[in-house]
Chains A and B, each alone.
Chain A
Amino acid sequence: MNKKNQVAITLGLMCFILTALIVVQVNTINNANSAIGQARNENDLRDEVLKWKEKYDVTYSNLEKAEKNLENLRQNASNNDETTKQMEEELKTANKLLGLTELTGDGIVITLEDGTDLIHQEDLIYVVNELKNAGAEAISINGQRLVSTSFISCDGNVILINGNKIGTPFVVQAIGYPSTLYGALMRNGGYLEKLQDIGIKVETKKVENIVIQKYNGIIDSKYMKVVE
């Protein structure tokens, strides 16, 4: 019996030391800022990205509210005066052409998806060029409006448009005369046919009342000046 007690006490004491050490160790690891494994590091980064994204969304919705307010104020101000009304119209037209307003109209939607071959930025550039050649008035790819300062470039396994990362599938929306746009892109020997031949899934549809998002960025100029 004495021996058994001895065993029990020793093992109990051992377990006490063991669990105390484990808890201390776990606390230490949890408190340490430097991550011990890559997985932990990645998870932290992911959390941070999500947090920033949420912040961005909130700020963006605030901005939209403020812009609507501004629009209302402008309208109120121009209600009284004929010249301001004219200026308001001009401003609207300018914004429309610059890509700073949401637009709607008939046109086509092209969906490009990676198949046996991948889509590269040149493919999108070609498609956009053909659309412009066929008289497209407003183009957006995956919600990124193409404006005068837009660029399409390669960034590893994604494509950058206006500095935003987008990935496959690419949805190209274009407002213009639907039949002309459709014909220009789907003609025999056209670029979309070539893409289909190398194994990219292409789908083209004429759609009525496409809504194209406005450009989110800022169009700025630093070096150009108007000639007097």
Chain B
Amino acid sequence: MVIIAIIIGCLVGILVGMNTPIIPYSMSGYLAISIIAALDSVFGGINSSIKGNFDLKIFVSGFFVNAILSILLTYLGERLNVDIYLAAIVVFVGRMFNNLGYIRRHYIEKWISRKNKEEKNTNEKGV
């Protein structure tokens, strides 16, 4: 169910994105950082849905607050001539890898336990 929703969302997103007018080049830096924030949120959402503690309010508020803070940081960095947005990217990407690690571990453990069960079954049959 979740996977189907993600795939449909991606396909519709591509279609809509193709038909959306482009944004000014100077704004693309802000859009880029919000893309990273959204990506981080998606991974976080998948992770929490696997763990079973998904909360809509936390998810949505997390996305908006993260995106707004990172955009503000980018703006501040531009004013101060320091690439602060790099810090936001480091945090987001680091979290993405963490979340991906949890997701990966979850599915590998599931797979291994299933395999073990099958082996048990065949062994019992063999005996």
Q: Which residues of A contact B (CB under 8 A)?
A: 3-25, 27-29, 31-32, 34
Top 5 nearest A-B pairs (CB, nearest first) are: A23-B17, A19-B13, A12-B5, A15-B9, A12-B9
Task: Tell me if B20 is interfacial: C-beta within 8 Å of chain A.
Answer: yes
A-chain residues with CB within 8 Å of residue B12 when the two chains form the complex: 16
A-chain residues with CB within 8 Å of residue B10 when the two chains form the complex: 15-16, 18-19
Q: Can you pick out 30 interface pairs between chain A and chain B where the beta carbons lie within 8 Å of each other? A: A3-B54, A7-B45, A7-B54, A9-B5, A10-B60, A11-B2, A11-B5, A14-B9, A14-B41, A14-B42, A14-B45, A15-B9, A15-B10, A16-B13, A17-B13, A18-B38, A20-B14, A21-B35, A22-B13, A22-B35, A23-B14, A24-B23, A24-B31, A25-B28, A27-B18, A27-B20, A28-B23, A28-B25, A31-B22, A34-B25
Partner of A11 from B9, B28, B39 at Cβ < 8 Å: B9
Query: With contacts A9-B5, A21-B35 known, what are 7 further pairs, Cβ within 8 A?
Result: A10-B60, A14-B41, A18-B13, A22-B35, A25-B31, A28-B22, A28-B23
Q: How many A-B contacts are there with CB distance less than 8 Å?
A: 108
Digitize B3-40: 1 where CB-to-A-CB distance is under 8 Å, 0 elsewhere. 01110111111101110101111001001101100110
